[in-house]
Amino acid sequence: MRKLIRSGSATTLLLCFLLTYTLPSFAQGNYSYFEENERVGLKDKNGETLITPKYQKLGWSSGFQYPVKGVIGYYDGTAWGLVTVKGKVVTTPKYYSLEAVHGSLIVASIKGKFSNLLLYGTINANGQTIISFKNQTIKLDHDHIIVSEKIKHKRYSGLYTQTNKEILPKSYRTIQYLDHGMFQFTDTLNQHGLVRTTGEIILTPSLDSIAPYSGDYALVYKTGKVGLISAQGQYIHQPKYKAITSDQTTIPFDQFDIKTSEDQLNGSWSADSIFMIRDRFLAICTNGWAEIINQNKETVYRGLLPTKIDAFKSHLVITNYKTTTLIPSGKTVFRTVNFDSVKIDKHYLYGYTDKHWKVYNSFGRELNGKSYDGIQTESNNLIPVKRNGYWGYLDLSGEVAINYKYEAVSPFFQEIAAVNYLGYNNVINQFGEVVGEASYDSIWINHDNTARVKQRSRTDILNKNGAALFQTYNQLTPHQLGYLEKTESGQVGLIDHNGRILFYPKYDMISPLIRDRFIIIQKRNQIAVSFKDGSFLIPFTDDYQAISDISEGFLSIQKDNQYGFIDFDQQLRIANRYDSVGHFQEGLCPVRLHGHWGYVDKKEELIIQPNLDSVSHFVDHMAIVKRDEKYGAYGIDGEIAIDINYDQITKTPRDMFIVASNQKYGLYDSHGNKILSPSYDLISESSDGYFIVSRRTKAGLMNTNGLYTIPLKYDEIYELKYGQYVCKKIVK
């Protein structure tokens, strides 16, 4: 079937007509054109003149050029009109274009009154208007007419018969012929439906797409799911399948149940996969599509699977390639907003579009209606923003707290920030006041309300008021208590965060903080132990080669290349007779003697004989050990709690023990009582203290007593969030 589409501006079409028109030299049926004095006329097959040569053109503005229904178009040099083949004028020359496209269908266009746009309609052989001249486009498709009209800057399509009977009103995005006497149409939400040429709507617009017919059947798609319709447009299979083969075999999705740890069903979906978004939204994925629901199971988004999904407070944030969209929660009345990119902070979302940033609060509302050149996140309580080329700070209500005047700024960490003003590096407070000296070479803001600054070769530690707490020409590096001060010769000292000198830089080594209380210090061949306030527990002494750890009142020492323990009074409590030692924990300490490990108590009694290859420290009265490539566990009483015959033992965060033997897994409780023999393919502890287990290709959930709380019948179980599990069944 031949199709015609006409649209465009008057200027463009006129240019095309003037460049392409030539006098036809053919006769069609009973007629032929002839030319005299650069004017065109019409003769019948006998050569008799029917229309005298007085028109600049005869025929149609485009398309075929012979008469239809006894009429032909004429062009007088300014516009087109309609004349009978006997020369009687039917219409005055008032059309910008005139084209016979099908039988008695004549499509014409006129120029709009207030614009240069063309408006299309149809007339009959008598010159009467059939379809009014309100349309931007007209298309003939399978003996029906598809028209489009621009309404409030948007184009809407409708479907009509050639006699102007309305099949579909002009309220749809697209309309096109599908097959079997049916047209496919798309509404403003991009949902597809079907209508017969009689006007009967077979499928209301609820589908994402409809495939071309293959014989008497067509596939339909809805949110990534496939269905099948007949030649009459009726459902053979509703759109709920992963695929439908050419022989109409349906292939289902897998089944996903969300359950509590006690087997209570919270929802069930057929999908390829499901996952949580920041514990606020659930995404259900099907064939590259995603439906995202909130905690009330309300659909927030439905469409192609985004390239990135995130959440800001109760709002969904989705990214598709270069566009990021903020979808406000159902509790707000704010519109969906699109961005080129976003930054998500603790209390605010920053959206970037049209080369500018805007600030949105936790309600999804624009904070102050202003745009910014740049923005920084993770500031304490003032927001760094750049406007008109300069940086300043906003308060949490969006008002300017510190004016835009800086070339560069840092976020506020507590009450101070670093800025650059007129080329000078300053430290400022939250009132925008400069604290400290007029300029520094470098500034580092700390999270403890102090700043480390450098000016030439001097480094200062400043408080929030800019006062120097400490000054040095040596190198400073962070330490848990403050800073290590290191000289050019490599000597080290220690100052705290407030600039108080704990140790001058004259030592070879200062250790990290031990047990949140102690520091080990070494100077040449002497060693000392101090408290974190700088006072000494053990003054400098050369009695020991090393002190490696401190725990439960005992210090592990190396002397004469052997290891032992002293107490805080430097009394030898455990002789230095061991190859290596650990530290005391729960009253016992691992010791290595003659290449093997055992455990001693604080009286140096061997609680566990040194016949082990490797050991751990005791935690909650249990320690994992290894002997002859097998693992087990001892109790604090020195007795074997878990036999040393497993290939692997893993202690869980809740002090249970997962054992492995011959690639099968079992479970013991925190006291070494057997809960499950090693007969499972998988055992893993969840965040709420239950165990996901797998056996003979099926998965279930157990409590700490080894009792099933979710039956062993699923193909896969995994934790969705605390207290909720995804239970998957593969549907075949």
pLDDT of residue 337: 86
Tell me if 228 sits within 8 A of 241, measured CB to CB: no
Summarize the confidence of residues 190-205 as an average pLDDT: 96
Quickly state the pLDDT bin for 4 (edges 50, 70, 90). very low
Residue linked to tokens 């592990």? 556
Over residues 589-603, the pLDDT tens digits come to: 999 999 999 999 999
Quickly state the pLDDT bin for 29 (edges 50, 70, 90). low
pLDDT of residue 332: 57
Task: Assess if residue 45 is contained within a domain.
Answer: yes
Question: Rounded to an integer, what distance in angstroms lies between the CA atom of residue 472 and that of residue 463?
Answer: 15
- The pair of three-digit structure tokens given for residue 413, joined into one six-digit string: 């960490």
Write out the residue range of the structural domain in which residue 109 sits. 1-141
**Main-chain phi, psi angles of 341, to 5 degrees:** -160, 165
Over residues 304-346, the pLDDT tens digits come to: 999 999 999 989 999 988 899 998 876 655 678 889 999 999 8
Q: Going by C-beta distance under 8 Å and a sequence separation of 6 or more, which residues neighbour residue 116?
A: 9, 10, 11
Name residue 39's beta-bridge partners.
36
- The pair of three-digit structure tokens given for residue 577, joined into one six-digit string: 């007779």
Question: Rounded to an integer, what distance in angstroms lies between the CA atom of residue 96 and that of residue 114?
Answer: 15
pLDDT of residue 113: 82
Over residues 226-281, the pLDDT tens digits come to: 999 999 999 999 999 999 999 999 999 999 999 999 999 999 999 999 999 999 99
Question: Rounded to an integer, what distance in angstroms lies between the CA atom of residue 336 and that of residue 332?
Answer: 11
Helix, strand, or coil (residue 232): coil
pLDDT of residue 7: 40
Tell me if 365 sits within 8 A of 378, measured CB to CB: no
Question: Rounded to an integer, what distance in angstroms lies between the CA atom of residue 240 and that of residue 250?
Answer: 9
pLDDT of residue 331: 60
Nearest to 85 by CA among 66, 109, 98: 66
pLDDT beyond 50 at 119 = yes
Quickly state the pLDDT bin for 732 (edges 50, 70, 90). confident
Quickly state the pLDDT bin for 118 (edges 50, 70, 90). very high
Task: Assess if residue 12 is contained within a domain.
Answer: yes
Mean pLDDT score of the chain: 92
Strands (DSSP E) found in 85-187: 97-102, 105-111, 118-123, 129-135, 137-141, 144-151, 154-161, 166-172, 174-179, 182-186
Share of the chain above pLDDT 70, in %: 95
pLDDT beyond 50 at 111 = yes
Task: Assess if residue 72 is contained within a domain.
Answer: yes
pLDDT of residue 1: 34
Residue linked to tokens 């809740």? 654
Question: Rounded to an integer, what distance in angstroms lies between the CA atom of residue 272 and that of residue 256?
Answer: 9
Q: Going by C-beta distance under 8 Å and a sequence separation of 6 or more, which residues neighbour residue 24?
A: 33, 59, 65
**Main-chain phi, psi angles of 16, to 5 degrees:** -65, -45
**Main-chain phi, psi angles of 15, to 5 degrees:** -60, -40
Q: Going by C-beta distance under 8 Å and a sequence separation of 6 or more, which residues neighbour residue 526?
A: 540, 541, 542
pLDDT beyond 50 at 547 = yes
pLDDT beyond 90 at 612 = yes
pLDDT beyond 60 at 10 = no
Tell me if 728 sits within 8 A of 716, measured CB to CB: yes
Quickly state the pLDDT bin for 18 (edges 50, 70, 90). very low
The pairs formed by 464-469 with CB atoms below 8 angstroms and a separation of 24 or more are 464/414, 464/415, 464/416, 464/429, 464/435, 465/429, 465/435, 466/427, 466/434, 466/435, 466/436, 466/437, 467/436, 468/436, 468/499, 469/498, 469/499, 469/500
Question: Rounded to an integer, what distance in angstroms lies between the CA atom of residue 604 and that of residue 612?
Answer: 18
Question: Rounded to an integer, what distance in angstroms lies between the CA atom of residue 326 and that of residue 353?
Answer: 12
Summarize the confidence of residues 180-185 as an average pLDDT: 97
Share of the chain above pLDDT 90, in %: 87
Summarize the confidence of residues 559-569 as an average pLDDT: 97
pLDDT of residue 334: 60
- The pair of three-digit structure tokens given for residue 108, joined into one six-digit string: 């014409």
pLDDT of residue 718: 97
Summarize the confidence of residues 52-75 as an average pLDDT: 92
pLDDT beyond 60 at 606 = yes
Over residues 336-386, the pLDDT tens digits come to: 888 999 999 988 999 999 999 999 988 888 889 899 999 999 998 899 999
Over residues 71-103, the pLDDT tens digits come to: 999 999 999 999 999 999 999 999 999 999 876
Nearest to 414 by CA among 427, 423, 426, 424: 427
pLDDT beyond 80 at 426 = yes
Number of domains in the chain: 1
Quickly state the pLDDT bin for 699 (edges 50, 70, 90). very high
pLDDT beyond 50 at 208 = yes
Task: Assess if residue 385 is contained within a domain.
Answer: no
HEC-encoded secondary structure of 238-303: EEEECEECCCCCEECCEEEEEEECCCCEEEEEEECEEEEECCCEEEEEECCEEEEECCCCCEEEEE
Quickly state the pLDDT bin for 210 (edges 50, 70, 90). very high
pLDDT beyond 80 at 15 = no
**Main-chain phi, psi angles of 12, to 5 degrees:** -65, -45
Task: Assess if residue 71 is contained within a domain.
Answer: yes
pLDDT of residue 333: 53
pLDDT beyond 70 at 604 = yes
Summarize the confidence of residues 440-451 as an average pLDDT: 95
pLDDT of residue 12: 31
Summarize the confidence of residues 111-127 as an average pLDDT: 90
Quickly state the pLDDT bin for 6 (edges 50, 70, 90). very low
pLDDT of residue 17: 29
Residue linked to tokens 């497993």? 646
pLDDT of residue 364: 84
**Residue 557: enclosing H or E segment and its boundaries?**
strand 554-559
Q: What is the DSSP string of 414-475?
A: TTEEEEEETTEEEEEETTS-EEEEEEESEEEE-TTS-EEEEETTEEEEE-TTS-EEEEESSE
